[in-house]
Structure 1
Amino acid sequence: MASGSLTVVGTGVRSISQITPEAREAIESAEVVLYGVADPVTAEWIRTHSQRSQSLADFYEVGLARPVVYQKMVDAIMEPLRSGKRVCAAFYGHPGFFVTPSHKAVRLARAEGIEARMLPGICALDSLSADLVLQPVVHVT
């Protein structure tokens, strides 16, 4: 089994306020952090809390098909894993919802005998559910 490991985490939907303690620890302890986040505050937080980091947003190019972009992201995640690094891949929201590269990287790492896990994150559905609960009930007669 290779000595590297992959931890995929979610950063939540509200800047850094929704990063779980478990995700924070994964980001801070990883040798390499690759991230695809939606806001500059979270990106800066990751850069200051990781040993070495790279934005996965750099792979988006005008005219490049999404499957090609996602494969480039997976390749970027797998490269340091294959050289034995502890890697954290951080994605906006929950890394298991609508994040193709997270699933592909976990499957590929495991197929290559590399330890890989995905931690939960807060997603848009969680925020929507909370918002709906707080809305007053309106009765129409």
Structure 2
Amino acid sequence: MKFAAFLAAAAIALASVSAAEAPRAHLVKARMAEEAGLEKRGSGKLTWYGGGMLSNPACGGSAPGDDELVVAVAQNGGYGSCNQRVELHYQGKSVKATIRDYCDGCAYGHFDATKGLFSHFANLDEGVLTGMKFKLL
């Protein structure tokens, strides 16, 4: 009988310790994610543009060529800005690119890429790739 009472008390004590630790563990995990830069990651889509549309990039400088690793993003879209580097991931492939232009029709996580960059992931005929993962560098 005394042993059963001891086990019950131990179980209650253990449950209260676990409950007290849960919020703290959650805060530690959130802080570690922030420090690791996970807030700079996301998921979106990739489209492509080329030719004359590459002229006069909003970020300045010369017009990039169709084969350069360049993307356009939504202006003030909260997921990259002029001349910032971004790493794009899709189906096991990864490419680093530079943001050089703005895309009027882009929403959060939408990257409009040069033909050369898009071709690293798929044939141009695909047109739109969804589920594109990105990480701002």
Q: TM-score scaled to structure 2, two decimals?
A: 0.24
Richer in strand (by share): 2
Larger Cα-atom Rg: 2
Structure with more relative contact order (C-alpha pairs < 8 Å, separation 6 or more)? 1
